[in-house]
Chains A and B, each alone.
Chain A
Amino acid sequence: MEYLVGIQGKDFVLVAADNVAASSIIQMKHDYDKMFKLSEKILLLCVGEAGDTVQFAEYIQKNVQLYKMRNGYELSPAAAANFTRKNLADYLRSRTPYHVNLLLAGYDDTDGPGLFYMDYLSSLAKAPFAAHGYGAFLTLSILDRYYKPDLTREEAVDLLKKCIEELNKRFIMNLPSFTVRLIDKEGIHDLEKLTHGAK
């Protein structure tokens, strides 16, 4: 029911997540933010089971901050992604596995932009674009068709809009608005929320 998407460009990563916090059949919140800021240039997008998402994401967030405090410099996105995956893997075969699906997006000063796909079975893949949720079934082929590695920011936003239009057209769930953020060498930028027509 929840949807996450990320698109990596030449020197930026664009990410979007829906804003619905649902409980059974009720939308409890329409403006819920599913992105967690790990550091100045890393965002963690987290969906999955109700309490697990926030608990796990905040755990990762605080540990990344701790690393910075102890060592004086921040974890790179790749390191943060691997740290996250390791934690997921450690908990996977414990009594309390975390049922969460994640996208980690970041900009590294040496390696450039990076988008990492992780799922609840603690798999990790660096990908040029990725999506989570039922919406992924509808949008991955659009991303396959139109994606180019040297997308500009405007093209990436257009591609994102195409994906969301498709969701609004075909997805059974009503996802009225999406938070959109862009990460580049300057940091994290909030872009305009993408809302559905009449709302």
Chain B
Amino acid sequence: MAEAEAEWELCKENIQPLRGGRAMSALKEALTLQEEGGSAITQRQQAFETELRMYDGDDPLDVWDRYIKWTEQTFPQGGKESHFSVLLESAVKKFTEENKYYNDARYIDLWIKFADHCQEPLDIYRYMQAQGIGLMSSAFYIAWSEEYEKRGNFRNADSTFQEGLNCGAKPQDRLKQFHKALQARVTRQVMSGMGQESGVVDAMEMDMEEPNRKTLVELKALGKEKAVAPISRGSSITTHQPRRLQMKAPMAPLRNSRLMVFDENKKVAEPQDPKLESWMGPPSARAKENEQKPVKWTKAKLPKKTHAGLPVVIPAPAKPTFQPFVEECEQPPAVTPCKINPSMNSVLSARKPHREETPLKRVQDWQAQHQAAGAQAPGADSKPREQSMYCKELLFNGATEFCIEELRAMRYHQKHAQRLVASSSSSNSSPGDESAGASAASESCRAGPSSSGSSH
């Protein structure tokens, strides 16, 4: 046991923390499994994928819930093979229509995990509120106010708890307990703040007095050519400093802020969205690193070369050295303006315009589409609609796609297993057979198309 513990200690920085903490046994198992090689894990994944598509009962959320929980425990480092964010997004999207799950603790838990994965969790929580998801659950309000607290917005954190209490969220004791804890933290801060000499003065000024270079701010332009670091990280970090007292001026727009912090108290006329919710258009959820448009690096120009006897046209690059932040509404996209001779390179063809996609936007769009389809809105789409004549939902239900033959093979295996059970139970009639048979059937159906014997 000591060695297993030592092993965990060695790679603990690679283990992503979970909200609810990790079970030590599951963690150890996951780490040993990963060392041995991925096949046991892949088999289990396949089993889950099969179950997702074959499930016939009343509670499909159960399969998703178990799958996601297992993924979380088995992939402590996260990573692409876990398909975790894909799964989360699919699960969340799939049940947006199912009102019965709106106050199901498992579903709300999925949403909270989803929000954690997005860049702007606050938007997710607001969306949930607008849709009526989780309004009766204290976990929802607790998670939401935690987000506010992280950003130093104690007033909103407090009011979120109030809202929860007003709505009568259950369990109430838990809500009150967390509320009290928040209030305690706030008062402690105020007290410690009062104790210091500089008091509640904006702490930025404190740094100004020191002759050293400021930490975490914009880098000054260096050199003759005023080269600037392409991504300015300074501002976004300073806006998120925790424990920074902003009780005095919570609504003041932050300096150097490239993010427009949504303020619900301001009466902002929502420009777009004639659709369902009262707001739309959150900033991107996944970090898009190189958002800046390409610019000239140096003044040097390449001499015009000829290639295969044809002249190459090098276009002039974009003019501005920085792009002022524009909120992404219906912004026309980055169509590459190059006029590269197509005979040379078919890779760089003009990209078709596409909307900036964020997970939340995808969920909203999906829901909007479904509602439109349900309402049978004629002429809602300008382009002629196309209908795929195959069972799309079944094929693409999980994290990975299936082909039609895989689906059929799954069904074949399940039937085959049932036939085996039927023939074996008819030959011997012990009562314990039913459960043994059923589990054998489900085992072989879970074995699905790829594994010969699942290990679990």
- Tell me if chain B binds chain A: no
